[in-house]
Amino acid sequence: MNRLGEIVEASTTRLRAVAPQTFEGPAFGSFVKTSDGSRTTYGVVAHVEHVSIDPSRRAIPLGRTWEELRREQPQVLELLTTEFEACCVAFAEQDGALCAYLPPVPPRVHDFVEACTPAEIVDLTEDLSFIRTLGATGIPIVTELIAAAIRSAAGHHHDQRVYLVRAGREVADLFRQDYELASSIIRRIRVSDGQKARR
């Protein structure tokens, strides 16, 4: 089991988790899941940060490389933590089908967060509704988030280019009224025609 973190805050739309190892958080835009034993909630990583474990004490510049720090002041690493946030996009009841909308209750605090398997990512992203859910989160960097999520999903689909075109159309459709916004996302997911589709 590849444990990415432990939940420290959760709502029906978002969860916040702490990574077990500092600097080893999940990638922005990657798909994660957490299970409370009966329900699995799926999310997209929307924010990753490295912060001091004590919110009242910021890290200060030390003027050394990490190599020197590890040798001379190994406790520094212990004072830092890696945290991430994920936006909930879907859930599945035990033995049930995947529901591509928000879960009825938030995931539990202290449950573990794991990376989704490639098969789960394909299931989760096949119908593209995650794009609309992410679009509705209202977070400031929504264009980057949607583009990153689409890119991370596309690699798992049979024909990457076909998938990107479909996803791009969903984006164009979602932001019909705002061509600038739509095209900025589309430009972030484009493949050049010469690029070989990944299988």
Partner 1 sequence: MSRTEEAFNALTADLSGRPLGRIIRGSLLEGIEARLDDDVTVEDVRVGRFVVVDGARNRFFSAVHNVKLANTNEDVLLRPPDDGFVQEVLRGTNTYATIDLRPKLLIAHGEDGVRPVKTIPPHFATVREASDADVATVFGAEGPTSLPIGKPLEMSSDVCINLERFVERSNAVFGKTGTGKSFLTRMLLAGIIKADLASVLVFDMHNEYGMWSEDEETKRKAPALKEIFGQKVLIFSVDPASSRRRSVTPDYEVQIALSDIEVDDLVLLRSELNLADAQVRDMETLAERWGTKSWLQRLLQAQADGSLDDEVESIPGVHAQSVKALARNLQKVARKEFVKESVTDHSADRMLKALLERRHVVIEFGGKTDFLSYMLVSSIVTRRIHERWREEKEKASADGRLGHPPQLVITLEEAHKFLSPEAAHQTIFGTIAREMRKYNVTLLVVDQRPSGIDAEIASQLGTRVIGALDDERDQSSVLEGVPDARALRVLLNNLEPKKQVLLGGYALPMPIVVEVRDYYDFAKATRRAAGERKRDVDLWER
What residue ranges bind partner 1 (CB under 8 A)? 159, 161-162, 164-165, 168-169, 171-173, 176-177, 179-180, 182-183, 186-187, 190-193
Would you say 101 or 179 has its CB closer to partner 1?
Answer: 179
Residue 184 Cβ, how far from partner 1 at the closest point, in Å? 11
Print burial letters for 52-78: b (CB count within 10 Å at least 16), e (below 16): eeeeeeeeeeeeeeeeeeeeeeeeeee
Structure tokens at 100: 């591509």
Query: What is the closest distance, in whole angstroms, from the C-beta atom of residue 180 to partner 1 in the complex?
Result: 7
* Separation CA 169–CA 182 (nearest Å): 9
Report the DSSP beta bridge partners of residue 43.
32, 88
Q: Which is nearer to partner 1, 52 or 195 (CB)?
A: 195
Shortest spacing between CB 113 and partner 1, in angstroms: 32
CB of 116 to partner 1, least distance (A): 24
Nearer to partner 1, 68 or 173 (CB): 173
Q: 111, 8 in Cβ contact below 8 A?
A: no
Q: Is the dihedral of CA 72, 78, 79, 85 positive or negative?
A: positive
Nearer to partner 1, 66 or 179 (CB): 179
* Shortest distance (Å) from residue 173 CB to partner 1: 5
User: What's the min distance (Å) between Cβ of 165 and partner 1?
Assistant: 5
Q: How far apart are CA 172 and CA 70, in angstroms?
A: 48
Residue 80 burial (CB count, 10 A): 13
47/188 with CB nearer partner 1: 188
Beta bridge partners of 34: 41, 113
Task: Give the three-state DSSP class for 124.
Answer: helix
- Residue closer to partner 1 by CB (options 65, 177) is 177
